[in-house]
Structure 1
C-alpha cells in the first residue's frame, strides 16, 4: 500500500507540475494582457502626464519586475534547463537592469522639467534606497545594462549637488572602460562572439552626460569610435536600419534588420550624440525616413516595423523620444498621448511591450507592461511642450 500511495502522490505532483508549467504559465500572461487591454484610458486630460508619472513612481516603490523576461517552456524543458546558467533571470538581474534604470531616468527628467520638486525629492529617496548609498552591498555593478542608472545619478547631482551621485557615476564609468575589448569595442557581455546594438543604448547616453564631469578626457571621441564601428559594419546602406548585431570576427551582420527595440537602442544613442555634436546627420535622417515609411496607420510601430505583428510600446516610445531631438520634427504632449491612447492603461501604465529578447533571431512572443516603456514615455513627455 505504501508503494501504491507513493506512486499516486508522485503522479499527482507530476500532473500538477505539468498543468502549471504547460498550461497556467503559458496561458495566464495572454489572459492578463487581454484583461489589461480593456482597461485603457478614455480621455487625454491635462493631468494625464502626471498620472503616468505617478504610476511610474509607484512601480519603483515595489520590488516586482514588470518586464516579461522568460517565456514558458513547458515542464520537460524547464526541468532540463534547471542547471543552465542562462535558464532564468534572477530577481537581482531583473531589478538592477535597463528597464528600471530608464524608468528612474524618465521620472527624474520629467520631475525636473515640470519643476515638481516635491516629487523629485520623493524619487531621490527611492533611488538612494535602491542603489544602497547607506548599504554598499545593495548594488553590484556587473552588467552594461546598469549604466543608465548613472543618468539618474547625474540628474540628481545636477539638482542636489551631493557627491555620492558623482562617485557612483565614476564607478559606472570605470566599468565601461574595463568593458572595452582588444578591438576597441565595448562588449555587452564578456567573451561574446557578436556585438549587439543594444549596447549603444546602454552606454552612449550615459557617457555623453558624464563627459562634462570627466577632466582631461573627451569621452565623445570614445562614443564616436563606437558609433563609427556599428555604422560601418552593422547598418543597411539603403534603409540606414541596423541589424541586431555584428559578428565580431567576420564583421558580418546577424539578426533581424527590423527588430523594433534594437532600432530603438541605436536611435537613442544616435539621437543623443547628434544633439550634442550635430554629427551623423545623414544616418539619423536616414533612419527617420525609413521608420516614417514603416509606421502603422495609427502612426505607431510594431515589434518588427513593416511586418505583420503587434504594436510594441518599447519600439514606439524609443522612436518618438529619439525623434524629439530633431529640430524639424514638431510634436506636443497631447498629440503623442492621443496616438497612444488605445495602449494607455487607466492606471497610467503603458501596455504592450514585447518581452526580453534572447539573442539574434530569437525574440519573445509575450507582451505586457514594462518599466522601460514607462520610462521612455516619460522621457518623451519631458521633451515636449503641452
Structure 2
C-alpha cells in the first residue's frame, strides 16, 4: 500500500514540477528577451536588424500568442489555446510588405509566393477562409510578380468577400455574426477591393470599399472626432465595444490610407478619402505621447504602449504629410519610429504589440512580438527615408 502511495506522490510531484517548470521557462524567456531592450542609438543599424528578423519571419512566420495566462501555461498548450493561427494571414501580409521594402529580397519573396500560390493554376494552395485573407492578397499586388498570373487567386478572394455580403450590402467579418460590422474589415478588404476594381475594370468593388467605409463612419464614429468604435450592430442600430481601441483605429487608418494611394487621381471619391486622411491625422495627433508612441487605449494615460497602433499611426501621419506637406505630420511620423526603436529587442524584434483580441470589448493584456508590426515598421521607415 505504501508503495502505491509513494508512486502516486511521485507522479503528483512530477506533474507539479512540470507545470511550474513550464511557467518559469516562459517567464524567464520573456525576461531574457527584453534584457537591454530599446538601447538602439543608430537608426540605420536598428532598421537593418528589424529587416533581418522580418526576412526570417517571411520564411517561417511565427504565430501570435492567444492566451493572456501567465500561469498553468501547459493547460493552454495542451488545449491548443496558447497561440492563434486564425490571424496568420495578416501577420504574413505585414511581413511581405516589409520584405518588399528590403534590399535584395526577390528570391525570398518569390519563395513566399510559390508557397502560397500554385504556379500552374494561379490559385491559392490553401484558399483563405476569412476576409482577413484579402490583406495578404493586397500585399501580393505590391510585389513584382505578374498580377495577371495571380488573377485566379484574386478572384477567389473576391468570391469570398462576395459571400460575406450582408443585407445592407456591406461585408461582415464572420458568418456566424452577420449583423455585426467590425472596424478590422475596413483594413482587411478596402485597399484590395480598390486595387482589384481598378486593375480589372470592376468599379463595383471600388464602390463596395467606399460603402464599407462610409457606413462605418456614419454608424460607429464619435460625433466630433475621427475615432471609431470596435464594431456596430445593424439590427440594434448601435456601436459596440469601446471608442479609442488603438489597433481598431489602426485598421481604419490602413483602410483609408492604402485605398487613398490605390485610387486613381481622377476618381470622384479621391477628395473624400483625402479629407478622411487629413481629419483622422488631425484627431489622432492629439493622442501621440511625449515619447512618440501610442497607448493600446489611445485616450487612457494608464494604458500600455502598443507598437501596432504606433506603427500604423506613423503611416497615417506620413500619408497626411504627402497630401498637405505640413511638416508637423512628418515630424509625428518620425517620432513614431523613434518610439518603436525604444521597444525593439537587442536582436531587432519589435516588442510590446498588443496580442489577439478575444472579442468585442475584450482586449489582450499581454504584449509581445507581431510580424505584422515588424513589416509595417519597415514600410514606414523606408517611406520616411525616401523623403
Q: TM-score range by the shorter chain?
A: 0.7 to 0.9
Give the TM-score taking structure 1 as reference length.
0.84
The partner residue of 1:144 within 116, 131, 135 is: 131
Aligned to 2:55: 57
CA RMSD after TM alignment: 3.1
The partner residue of 2:249 within 254, 258, 263 is: 263
Aligned to 1:241: 227
Aligned to 2:65: 68
Question: Is 1:194 paired with 2:180?
Answer: yes
Question: Is 1:154 paired with 2:141?
Answer: yes
Instruction: Kindly indicate whether the alpha-carbon contact (under 8 Å) linking 1:33 and 1:367 is maintained by their aligned counterparts in 2.
Output: no
The partner residue of 2:42 within 41, 44, 56 is: 44
Instruction: Kindly indicate whether the alpha-carbon contact (under 8 Å) linking 1:244 and 1:257 is maintained by their aligned counterparts in 2.
Output: yes
Instruction: Kindly indicate whether the alpha-carbon contact (under 8 Å) linking 2:313 and 2:336 is maintained by their aligned counterparts in 1.
Output: no
Question: Is 1:291 paired with 2:247?
Answer: no
Task: Measure how far apart 1:341 and its partner are.
Answer: 2.3
Question: Is 1:101 paired with 2:93?
Answer: yes
Task: Measure how far apart 1:14 and its partner are.
Answer: 4.5
After TM superposition, the structure 1 = structure 2 runs for residues 164-179 of structure 1, keeping only pairs within 5 Å, are 164-179=149-164
Task: Measure how far apart 1:241 and its partner are.
Answer: 0.5
- Secondary structure of 1:256 counterpart: strand
Structure with more relative contact order (C-alpha pairs < 8 Å, separation 6 or more): 1
**More off after superposition, 179-188 vs 339-348:** 339-348
Instruction: Kindly indicate whether the alpha-carbon contact (under 8 Å) linking 2:232 and 2:239 is maintained by their aligned counterparts in 1.
Output: yes
CA distance in 2, matches of 1:29, 1:366: 12
**More off after superposition, 121-130 vs 372-381:** 121-130
CA distance in 1, matches of 2:134, 2:305: 27
Over 3 Å counting, the alpha-carbon distance change for 1:253 and 1:34 in structure 2 is farther
The partner residue of 1:305 within 298, 302, 308 is: 298
CA distance in 2, matches of 1:206, 1:183: 21
Give the TM-score taking structure 2 as reference length.
0.84
Spell out, residue by residue over 1:194-248, the C-alpha distance to the aligned partner (whole angstroms, 9 max, x if none): 2210111111111122222223443211111111110111000112200011023
CA distance in 2, matches of 1:318, 1:352: 14
- Secondary structure of 1:97 counterpart: helix
CA distance in 1, matches of 2:98, 2:197: 20
Task: Measure how far apart 1:43 and its partner are.
Answer: 2.1
Instruction: Kindly indicate whether the alpha-carbon contact (under 8 Å) linking 2:311 and 2:337 is maintained by their aligned counterparts in 1.
Output: no
Over 3 Å counting, the alpha-carbon distance change for 1:160 and 1:101 in structure 2 is closer
Instruction: Kindly indicate whether the alpha-carbon contact (under 8 Å) linking 2:277 and 2:319 is maintained by their aligned counterparts in 1.
Output: no
Over 3 Å counting, the alpha-carbon distance change for 1:52 and 1:15 in structure 2 is closer
Over 3 Å counting, the alpha-carbon distance change for 1:191 and 1:15 in structure 2 is same
Aligned to 2:374: 374
Instruction: Kindly indicate whether the alpha-carbon contact (under 8 Å) linking 1:132 and 1:139 is maintained by their aligned counterparts in 2.
Output: no
Spell out, residue by residue over 1:321-365, the C-alpha distance to the aligned partner (whole angstroms, 9 max, x if none): 122222234427866543432122333322210111111221111
**More off after superposition, 289-298 vs 210-219:** 210-219
**More off after superposition, 374-383 vs 353-362:** 374-383
Instruction: Kindly indicate whether the alpha-carbon contact (under 8 Å) linking 1:295 and 1:306 is maintained by their aligned counterparts in 2.
Output: no
